[in-house]
Each structure stands twice: as C-alpha cells, then as structure tokens.
Amino acid sequence: ARRKDDDKQPPKMSTPTTFWRLAGMSYMQYVNRAASCVTKALKEPAKSKALARSDFSYNASVWEAGTQGTKTNVTTFSAAGK
C-alpha cells in the first residue's frame, strides 16, 4: 500500500492563488471549516445539536500485502489520510 508516495508527485501546479491552498488546506477541509463557522452562528440549543450532527469517527488501517496494519481512530479531518 502506498500512502504518501513522495517519489510520484501529482502534476505540479503553478503557485496556488486560492487562499485555502496557500494556507495548506485542501478544498474539502476549507469547505467543512466554512460550514462549521456557519453552524456556530446558530443560537443554543440548535447550535450544539447541529455541531453534534457532524461528529464522526472511524478506524482506518493501512494494509500491506494482505495483512492489516495498526488501526488509527480518525475523528478530525486532518487525521485522515495519514
């Protein structure tokens, strides 16, 4: 399995112009953060209910040649893909 294949980079773009790329976020990361900002504008109790709706967790594990590796619990966006 390959996670971060440093020897095979995706086609290099010119210097990014969008601010989220410049900040090092992917588009999905940016969109989810923007959505949670909008959710935080709600008043209680709707706010905590809505924020709780987007909680998630799962266990990811990388497989090498048919054997499962160690499981890592993923609860935040930045923990995915490690």
Binding site for another protein (CB under 8 A): 1-5, 8, 10-11, 13-14, 16-18, 21, 26-29, 31-32, 35, 53-63, 65-68, 71, 74, 77, 80-81
Give me 82's structure tokens.
């490690």
Cβ nearer to another protein, comparing 41 with 67: 67
Residue 34, beta-bridge partner list: none
Cβ nearer to another protein, comparing 48 with 54: 54
Cβ nearer to another protein, comparing 11 with 45: 11
CA distance 24 to 15: 12
CA distance 75 to 11: 30
